[in-house]
Structure 1
Amino acid sequence: MFLEIVTPEAILFSSEIDSLSVPGVNGEFQMLNNHAPVVSNLKEGTVKIHIHSQSNIELDDLSGKLIPHEEDDKVLTLAISSGTLELNDNKAIILAD
Structure 2
Amino acid sequence: MLLEIVSPEAKLFSGEVTSVTLPGIDGSFQILNHHAPIVSILGKGVVKIAASSFHFGKDVVSKFTKIDDQNYTLAIVSGTIEMKDNKVIVLAD
Tell me which interval the TM-score lies in, with the shorter structure as reference length: over 0.9
Return 5+ residue gaps in structure 2 as ranges: none
Answer whether contact 2:43 2:77 (CA < 8 A) is retained: yes
- Please list, as runs of the form range in 1=range in 2, the aligned pairs for 1:38-77 lying within 5 A after superposition: 38-54=38-54, 57-58=55-56, 60-69=58-67, 72-77=68-73
State how far apart, in whole Å, the 1-side matches of 2:90 and 2:27 are. 16
TM-score normalised by length of structure 1: 0.89
The ranges of structure 1 where at least 4 consecutive aligned residues each deviate by more than 6 angstroms after the TM superposition are none
Q: Does 1:6 align with 2:2?
A: no
Identity of aligned residues (%): 54
Cα-to-partner distance string for 1:38-57 (whole Å, 9 max, x where unaligned) = 10000000000001123xx1
Secondary structure in 1 matching 2:58: helix
Secondary structure in 2 matching 1:60: coil
Cα distance, 1:73–1:45 mapped onto 2, change above 3 Å: same
Secondary structure in 1 matching 2:63: coil
- Higher strand fraction: Structure 1 or Structure 2? 2
Q: How many equivalent residue pairs?
A: 93
RMSD: 1.2
Q: Which amino acid aligns with 1:73?
A: D
Query: How far is the alpha carbon of 1:20 from its aligned partner?
Result: 0.4
Q: Which amino acid aligns with 2:83?
A: L
Q: Which amino acid aligns with 1:23?
A: P
Q: Which amino acid aligns with 1:85?
A: I
Secondary structure in 1 matching 2:62: coil
Answer whether contact 1:59 1:66 (CA < 8 A) is retained: no
State how far apart, in whole Å, the 2-side matches of 1:59 and 1:30 are. 25
Secondary structure in 2 matching 1:23: strand
